Amino acid sequence: MHKIPVYLVVGFLGSGKTTLLKRLVHAVEDKNFVFVVNEFSAVDVDAAQIESEGAPAIAVAGGSIFCRCLITEFVTVMRRISDGFSCGGQICRPQGVVIEASGMADPRSIGRLLTESGLENDFFVAGITAVVDPGVMIKLLMVLPNIKAQIQCADLILLNKVDLHTPEMVDSVTAKVAMLNPSAQVVPCVQCEIDCALVLRAQETPARELVAEYNLCRDPHFERKELRIECKPELRHVLEMFHNNVVGLYRAKGFVECTEGWFFIDWSEGGLTCNPVEAHPNSCLTIISAPDCNIQYGDAVR
């Protein structure tokens, strides 16, 4: 029985991983692929987006799949995948698995995880792709060690959003990436528009030794909190939170009910998006920030 290739996609929050996954969905639409989406927040957003593109997706939410608190759930998911998924009315093993790791993850322990769980009998790491936003990488390297680990373990590094930055900045980041990982292929791109075959090429022997310690369940470099907005504010008042350059804020994402309706809000240092959506059970933003970050929305935050 052939082992199933695993294609790991890593990258900091807001770098463009979900955009890449959507492109991969269409690149493998004639094949039997499964997508595993690891949300650091407790709210599953990305897996639903992948399913809407037409691919089977499984969410593992509430932390990093490479920390001890989620390993058991992740192993259970992978064993389900190995047992087979419905394909054309029949149960068949997938041809490949694409895993989007949490943006806060240090993915170097995936090799150890596969070995200790026995999953190495069914899967092998075929490639690791890191998605990088040149506008924030240098800054984040100074405060989040996991960003460095993501770059160092990758076989392919996508310098995404190069249209938003000066050639000098892109050249500076390219040089830094090459210093951290001289053997990786580096590809500049816009909205992750690349030849998906670069990501989905399988190599039986990983280019990196992937045996690091598991991630900490409580990493001292960042924390996650939920901002529940109990009232129904005007949308502009919610968005004002993100125009004040809050020090130590890394990501905010979630569903908020405003006077104008429900919206999905997604903020990172790379920009802010806000789109109308169907009603959601909770009006809440998941915030990922430095431990001393103080962001709030008036008295509505719990």
Confidence at 299, pLDDT banded by 50, 70, 90: very low
Task: Assess whether pLDDT exceeds 60 at residue 140.
Answer: yes
- Mind listing the pLDDT tens digit for each residue in 232-280? 888 888 888 777 656 778 778 888 999 999 998 888 777 788 889 888 8
Superfamily classification of domain 223-300:
CobW-like, C-terminal domain (3.30.1220.10)
- Mind listing the pLDDT tens digit for each residue in 60-109? 876 677 776 677 888 888 998 988 766 556 677 888 999 988 777 778 88
Mean pLDDT of 191-218: 70
Domain ranges of the chain: 4-198, 223-300
Confidence at 300, pLDDT banded by 50, 70, 90: very low
3-class DSSP string for the chain: CCCEEEEEEEECCCCCHHHHHHHHHHHCCCCCEEEEEEECCCCCCHHHHHHHCCCCEEEEECCCCCEHHHHHHHHHHHHHHHHCEEECCEEECCCEEEEECCCCCCHHHHHHHHHHHCHHHCEEEEEEEEEECHHHHHHHHCCCHHHHHHHHCCCEEEECCHHHCCHHHHHHHHHHHHHHCCCCEEEECCCCCCCHHHCCCCCCCCCCCCCCCCECCCCCCCEEEEEECCCCCCHHHHHHHHHCCCCCEEEEEEEEEECCEEEEEEEECCEEEEEECCCCCCCEEEEEECCCCCCCCHHHCC
What fold does the segment set 4-198 form as a domain? Rossmann fold (3.40.50)
